[in-house]
Amino acid sequence: MTQSVLTLKLLEPVFGILKLPPTHPFPHWLANVPLYFVARTEDEFSVMCPQAVIPVGLEYSRDWRCLRVHGDLAFDEIGVAARLARPLADAVLSIFVVSTHDRDYVFVAQQDLPKAVAVYESSDFLVIK
């Protein structure tokens, strides 16, 4: 079976990843942010958002860039995350993947972005910058 070419769109903001205490209230400063991700478990509360909106004084992992899978994929399509991860793992690049109902997002360190884009392009992905 032939796999379709995946198109990735480089999103403009530079992202940060925060780890907050699990009982931390929902950050009010995210109210008007158009794109962010949160996950709360019994031992952490993680927030990934444009770092420009993160309040001064909070510690976070800085300078992550986001490549969004462009176009419509079936919710039950198999292997999308693996297809996104494999070429970058083979190139020894660290990634952070987030999936929603309709989209998949790959986050790479800003310093690794040129190499990640080159790896994807040489692996038959289309990257829109």
Q: Going residue by residue through the chain (129 aa), what tens digit of pLDDT does each one get?
A: 456 789 999 999 999 999 999 999 999 999 999 999 999 999 999 999 999 999 999 999 999 999 999 877 777 777 888 999 999 999 999 999 999 888 999 999 999 999 999 999 999 899 999
Read off the DSSP letter of residue 29: G
> Length of the chain, please?
129
Helices (H) and strands (E) in the chain, counts: 2, 8
For the chain, give every domain's residue range: 7-128
- The CATH number given to 7-128 is 3.30.2130.10
Beta strand pairing status for 61-70 and 45-50? unpaired
Q: Quote the pLDDT of residue 9.
A: 97
Structure tokens at 7: 């198109």
Question: How far is CA 26 from its chain centroid?
Answer: 20
Alpha-helix runs per DSSP H in the chain: 80-90, 113-122
Beta strand pairing status for 104-109 and 61-70? antiparallel
Structure tokens at 93: 């690049």
